[in-house]
Amino acid sequence: MEKAFKYRLYQSSIYNLATSLSQGSGLGTSVSLVDMVKSLAVKKGNIYEVDCELLDLLFDNNHFSRSILNGLQNVVKLFDESVELEKIDASEIYGEFPEMLKELEQSFQNRNLKLRFEDKGTTGTISVNPSKLFIAVEEIVINSLKFGKTGTEIIIQDFIKEGTYHILVSNEIDSSLYEGITPEKESLVLEPFYRIQPPADEHLKVSRFGLGLGLTMISYIVDCFGGEFKIQNHKSGDKVLVSAEICIPICG
Amino acid sequence: MSKKILIIDDSAVFRKVLNIHLKTAGFEISEASDGLEALKKVAETDFNLIVCDVNMPNMDGLTFVSKIRDDEKNKYIPIIMLTTESQEDKKRKGLETGAKAWLVKPFAPEQLLKAINKLIS
């Protein structure tokens, strides 16, 4: 790797990490809260007197900090585990998606979004680790859940094209709020810690990785299957759609 | 009478942290979760100062600042940007747009109060 490029990449990753850690609730907020406790606490002998509201906030915020660290642990675990591949028919994988994504139902209702499966009965043998592939698909759907336009559908479909099995998740975004994945951001969003939008507290509960690592980990998983992961914007009339696509070679 | 400060940040927890900090320091606080909501609040109330995040949905902090600077009634309200953005070019852009100070999260409570008091007085 060219030196200058390598260090630019380091710089960008570290910058993204620093930004992610300081944004929203969590570790950065804890640091400020502890400073506040320190300046407002009154020492009486061996005891500090601290305003309840302040301490309650520190305790509440700790959940967010824990979620962030748990997310990092999930990333470490995933990298650490060996990825055993098995040959399986694509229809078996696709057939499991509705059940696998049931846990997210409440989150979909909260955002008035619907999940639609376009089952075309696609068949073809692929070599994957099913549980890891489910993690990747779930993470894509969580991403759609975060940015999908209220009152619209998230569509999951699969098909075979030129010897490759495709899982395509597409959703409309509210283009007055987000610009989605513009061409210059298509590769950037796969970089560790890169975020297009600041983290929203309500999504920390469903995020497996957090910290701007979700798309990076999807890319890693799909890479383990010899496949490719792409995410990009599409225009459909005046609508802006984001499509995330997992492409896996069909076994010969 | 207490001076009025508007806090703009999309994180509810962070707004609450700032709210407690500034209320304890004797200010009267209002909150908005993004630039759009903040514009409505500014139209309704005369604030002495605004503390504003940069990266927010709906309307980001820099767009909010430029809209306020174009508004005859409110163009002189001092605005402090309180953000995770630490890069010099972003800071320069923020100050050129009309922010009066640029502080980076996680904020030091004393430093924020010092900046507020300097701008309000």
In angstroms, the CA A154 to CA A113 distance is: 7
State pLDDT tens for residues B38-65.
999 999 999 999 999 998 888 899 999 9
The residue ranking higher by pLDDT, B6 or B73, is B6
| Structure-token pair, residue A140 | 């894509």
Task: Give the pLDDT confidence score for residue A233 in this predicted structure.
Answer: 92
- Residue A125 to residue B89: CA distance in whole angstroms: 51
- Separation of alpha carbons A130 and A83, rounded Å: 10
Q: What are phi and psi of A221, to 5 degrees?
A: -60, -50
What is the rounded CA–CA span in Å between residue A53 and residue A35?
15
Instruction: Provide the 8-state DSSP code for B50.
Output: E
Q: For residue A236, report the phi and psi dihedrals to the nearest 5 degrees.
A: -135, 95
Candidate from A15, A53, A178 with C-beta closest to B20: A53
Contact B11 A198 (CB under 8 A): yes
Tokens of A120: 């075309």
pLDDT at B86: 83
**DSSP reduced 3-state for B80:** strand
Average pLDDT of B60-81?
Answer: 94
Instruction: Report the distance separating Cα A64 and Cα A204, nearest Å.
Output: 7
Torsion over CA of B39, B41, B44 and B45, rounded to 10 degrees? -120
Residues whose CB falls within 8 Å of the CB of residue A111, separated by 6 or more in sequence, listed in order: A145, A148, A150
Pairing state between β A86-89 and A42-44 = unpaired
Per-residue pLDDT at B64: 96
Between B48 and B85, residue with greater pLDDT: B48
CB pairs under 8 A between A and B: 79
Say which of A22, A29, A198 has its CB closest to residue B10: A198
Show pLDDT as tens, one digit a residue, over chain A (252 residues).
678 877 877 887 888 788 878 877 788 889 999 999 998 899 999 999 998 989 998 998 888 888 888 999 999 999 999 999 999 999 999 999 999 999 898 888 988 999 999 988 889 999 999 999 999 999 999 999 888 899 999 999 999 999 999 999 999 988 877 778 888 888 888 888 887 776 665 665 667 887 889 999 999 999 999 999 999 998 888 889 999 999 999 996
Closest CA to A135 of A103, A100, A104, A164: A100
What's the pLDDT score for residue A117?
92
Pairing of strands A47-49, A42-44: antiparallel
Which residues have C-beta within 8 Å of that of residue A22, sequence separation ≥ 6? A28, B84, B104, B105, B106
pLDDT digits (tens, 9 = 90+) for B87-113: 888 899 999 999 999 999 988 999 999
Q: In chain A, how long is the greatest CA-to-CA distance?
A: 76
Say which residue the tokens 């999504």 belong to. A203
Residues of B in contact with A29 (CB under 8 A): 11, 13-14, 17, 106
Q: What is the pLDDT of residue A201?
A: 58
Looking at residue B9, what is its pLDDT?
94
Please give the pLDDT value at position A169: 96
- Do residue A28 and residue B106 have CB atoms under 8 angstroms apart? yes
Please give the torsion angle defined by the CA atoms of residues B31, B37, B38 and B41, in that order, rounded to the nearest 10 degrees: -80
**CB B21 to CB A24 under 8 A?**
no
Q: Is A212 strand, coil or helix?
A: coil
Residues from chain B contacting residue A32 (CB–CB below 8 Å):
17, 21, 105-109
* Angle at B46 (CA atoms; ends B16, B92), nearest 5 degrees: 70
